[in-house]
A and B are shown apart, each in its own frame.
Chain A
Amino acid sequence: MIRILTTTVALTAAPFAAFADGHSGDVEVLHWWTSGGEAAALNVLKEDLEGQGIGWTDMPVAGGGGEQAMTVLRARVTAGNAPTAVQALGFDILDWADQGALADLNAVAAEQGWDDVVPEALKAFAKSDGQWVSAPVNVHSTNWVWANTAVLEENGIEIPTTWEEFTAAVETLKAAGITPIAHGGQAWQDATVFDAVAMSTGGPEFYEAAFIDLDPEVLGSDTMREAFDRMAFIRENVDDNFSGRDWNLATAMVINGEAGFQMMGDWAKGEFVNAGLTAGEDFACFRFPGTQDQVTFNADQFMMFDQDGEVSPEQAALAMAILSPEFQSAFNVVKGSAPARTDVSDEAFDACGKKAMADLAAANESGNLFGSMAHGHAAPAAVKNAMFDVITAHFNGEFDSETAVEEMVTAVEIAQ
């Protein structure tokens, strides 16, 4: 018995070396883009590679915004069977880089001049210790508000640009018997709204100090309480039935004219387009009031797993294909996001896409581009989820704003 136990522990204690086992000439890609539009978009990449004689072994695992795929990745790496390329977000990339599992893409990056065209804030996640470890695919911005133009016009509402105008618009809609805010009560959706509200309440310095530097004083500040108070206002103006709703059903409420606004990332656009509406005409997209100059983002990337200490030609080809302007444009037009490099033509994009690209470039220039807390681009997973706990508990009435601020400080402390 003892021997079996010690053997098992010893086996599992062996170093977790990661060797990709793709057949030579093939790439195996672990990702969670399985819905029609995004998968079709990824198919562009596949065909590009096949044109170069590189096979694509598809390994899709959906669920929980990539959480399921990350679980699978851990099993695969532990088994010594890591995929060649893996879709990943924010801090997950840095964590894997810290484990020494990722390949060095510097040669490709230098050849292609990535450093000049990829926004700084994005490089913080694509590079670890000055070394490129992953290829960014897109930049989603998360501080969008979506509205049905017809509903706004009927009620004489101009697009709000300040919190005060926003509250006024909400009151108008409520008086007209329309649900002012369409929302799905899931922790990440609550947090997505909180991201925008906090940015609008305290401005970029506050956002950075609270969510990126995790300064306990700022986390416990009066500004934070003000942000929670504003969340309470939003809570009062969603329908009774919000909890547990999928985000796309909330989007459907806006599409059907039952609700005024939805705060959601740019992937919501796909639902409007799919329902036959046109950006800028039938529906409006604008930055959350008070965050016109800022962009909070999350970016999908493909990290490349180390293969015997070097980058395989297939990985290099894949990385190059991902960051090529043609793919960036083709993919992001479909996905609703903005390209991960700032020099791509916006010709193929619709009104919201053009605005997204212009905002992103401007925010990058002025230092107003920040990683989204709600989407794991501001603080590591443990801290992010600890914040989710507090935000969602407050949104569901478990804490008042005072308690929420205190809980925020302790929760972040325990998680660090």
Chain B
Amino acid sequence: MAAASSDTAIRTGRVARAGIYLFLLLFALFYLLPLFVMGANSLKPLGEITGGNMMALPSDWTIAPWLSAWSTAQIGVEPTGLRPYFWNSIKMVVPAVAIATVLGALNGYVLTKWSFRGDKVFYGLMLFSCFIPFQMVLIPMARVLGLAGIAGTTSGLVLVHVVYGIGFATLYFRNYYAAFPTELVRAAQIDGAGFFQIFWRIMLPSSGPIVVVCVIWLFTNIWNDFLFGASFADADSQPMTVALNNLVQSSTGVKEYNVHFAGAILAALPTLLVYVVAGRYFVRGLMAGSVKG
């Protein structure tokens, strides 16, 4: 890793650089377009949307849709807005991400530094588990949660997300730790350090970047999950995405598009925040390990 620097040795001419900037800016516009549509329409009164150009900026600016989406929009029979569901999502996401990350880190550590016969097969089976279509597991999962007595609870949801998060978490940590010098581990062992001591004192302190990658990945996926949240939550544990869906997907009622878009951006704020704040570490973390696999 020592030779890695934050940019390349490639030199480019002035014309080429202008072309590169143009290319990068065009793509930035492409990525921003849907956000613009959502943002602009969330600040318009409804009449302006259904009656006019949906790509235009508001002529009559209003923040009412945002306030409505957050605290007064009809989610079920009560006009609560998205606010109460925010906390439900947090209660589900934080433990799930923490547990899956810890398990992933330990698995990665075992699979690279404490190899045993058949470990590759385990790794392969774990990786393949990332590909299971979630629609398929709905019914058997419901049965298991029911038998375990945690159907309709936040703990049940945490379990589900941990199970389907382990695969990717293990993938990330295993590829990261594979590049970690084994001599250090061996030296510590000779000094009498045990399994957990090595993990705690040597592996974890250098795992920052990959923890960021793993947390971002898991956080995004679990926060945005709808299918499990809808199927395995009770009234008092429904996550944000289910509430957002209820806000947006009314079948035979008036559709308030401006409120929908405001709600969508509100629901995405935590993930957006995570991407913007941790995005720098994200690339650094990927760089430091996961793609070296």
A: which residues have CB within 8 A of B? 8, 11-12, 14, 21, 28, 31-40, 42-43, 45-46, 56-66, 68, 71-72, 74-76, 78-81, 140, 246, 248-249, 252, 256, 265, 267, 270-271, 274
B289 at the interface (CB under 8 A from A): no
Q: Do B78 and A35 touch across chains, with their CB atoms under 8 A apart?
A: no
Given contacts A42-B77, A75-B232, contact A32 B251 (CB under 8 A): yes
Q: Do A34 and B75 touch across chains, with their CB atoms under 8 A apart?
A: yes
Complex: A409 Cα to B89 Cα, angstroms: 48
**Which candidate, B21-29, B146-154, B177-185, is the interface stretch facing chain A?**
B146-154
Q: Do B235 and A58 touch across chains, with their CB atoms under 8 A apart?
A: yes
Complex: A393 Cα to B165 Cα, angstroms: 39
B144 at the interface (CB under 8 A from A): yes
Q: For residue B144, which residue of chain A has the nearest CB?
A: A11
Q: Do B142 and A75 touch across chains, with their CB atoms under 8 A apart?
A: yes
B19 at the interface (CB under 8 A from A): no
Q: Do A62 and B152 touch across chains, with their CB atoms under 8 A apart?
A: no
**Which candidate, B31-39, B56-64, B190-198, B240-248, is the interface stretch facing chain A?**
B240-248
B145 at the interface (CB under 8 A from A): yes
Residues of A close to B144: CB separation below 8 A: 8, 11-12
Q: Do A62 and B249 touch across chains, with their CB atoms under 8 A apart?
A: yes
Given contacts A37-B254, A64-B251, contact A71 B152 (CB under 8 A): no
Q: Do B249 and A63 touch across chains, with their CB atoms under 8 A apart?
A: yes
**Neighbour of A34 across the interface among B231, B234, B246, CB < 8 A:** B246
Q: Do A38 and B146 touch across chains, with their CB atoms under 8 A apart?
A: no
Q: Do B77 and A248 touch across chains, with their CB atoms under 8 A apart?
A: no
Complex: A28 Cα to B235 Cα, angstroms: 8
Given contacts A34-B76, A62-B245, contact A78 B143 (CB under 8 A): yes
Q: Do A71 and B138 touch across chains, with their CB atoms under 8 A apart?
A: yes
Residues of B close to A270: CB separation below 8 A: 252-254
Most buried by A among B75, B79, B138, B246: B246
Q: Do A39 and B74 touch across chains, with their CB atoms under 8 A apart?
A: yes
Q: Do A58 and B142 touch across chains, with their CB atoms under 8 A apart?
A: no
Report the minimum CB–CB distance from A269 to chain B (whole Å). Answer: 10
Residues of B close to A267: CB separation below 8 A: 252-253
Q: Do A34 and B247 touch across chains, with their CB atoms under 8 A apart?
A: yes
A-B contact count (CB 8 A): 150
Q: For residue A67, which residue of chain B has the nearest CB?
A: B251
Residues of A close to B143: CB separation below 8 A: 11-12, 14, 78-79
Residues of B close to A35: CB separation below 8 A: 74, 250, 252-255
Q: Do B151 and A81 touch across chains, with their CB atoms under 8 A apart?
A: yes
Q: Do A76 and B152 touch across chains, with their CB atoms under 8 A apart?
A: yes
Q: Do B75 and A60 touch across chains, with their CB atoms under 8 A apart?
A: yes
Q: For residue A19, which residue of chain B has the nearest CB?
A: B146
B256 at the interface (CB under 8 A from A): yes
Residues of A close to B75: CB separation below 8 A: 34, 39, 60
Q: For residue A13, which residue of chain B has the nearest CB?
A: B143
Most buried by A among B151, B231, B253: B253
B51 at the interface (CB under 8 A from A): yes
Which 5 A-B residue pairings sit nearest by Cβ, starting from the closest?
A35-B253, A35-B250, A79-B146, A79-B151, A60-B76
**Neighbour of B234 across the interface among A11, A14, A59, CB < 8 A:** A59
Report the minimum CB–CB distance from B153 to chain A (whole Å). Answer: 10
Q: Do B76 and A58 touch across chains, with their CB atoms under 8 A apart?
A: yes
Residues of A close to B147: CB separation below 8 A: 11, 14, 80
Report the minimum CB–CB distance from A164 to chain B (whole Å). Answer: 32
Most buried by A among B76, B141, B231, B232: B76
B189 at the interface (CB under 8 A from A): no
Q: Do A71 and B231 touch across chains, with their CB atoms under 8 A apart?
A: yes
Q: For residue A71, which residue of chain B has the nearest CB?
A: B231
Q: For residue B236, which residue of chain A has the nearest CB?
A: A57
Most buried by A among B147, B152, B248: B152
**Neighbour of B246 across the interface among A46, A61, A66, CB < 8 A:** A61
Q: Do A66 and B151 touch across chains, with their CB atoms under 8 A apart?
A: no
Complex: A80 Cα to B234 Cα, angstroms: 13
Report the minimum CB–CB distance from A6 to chain B (whole Å). Answer: 14
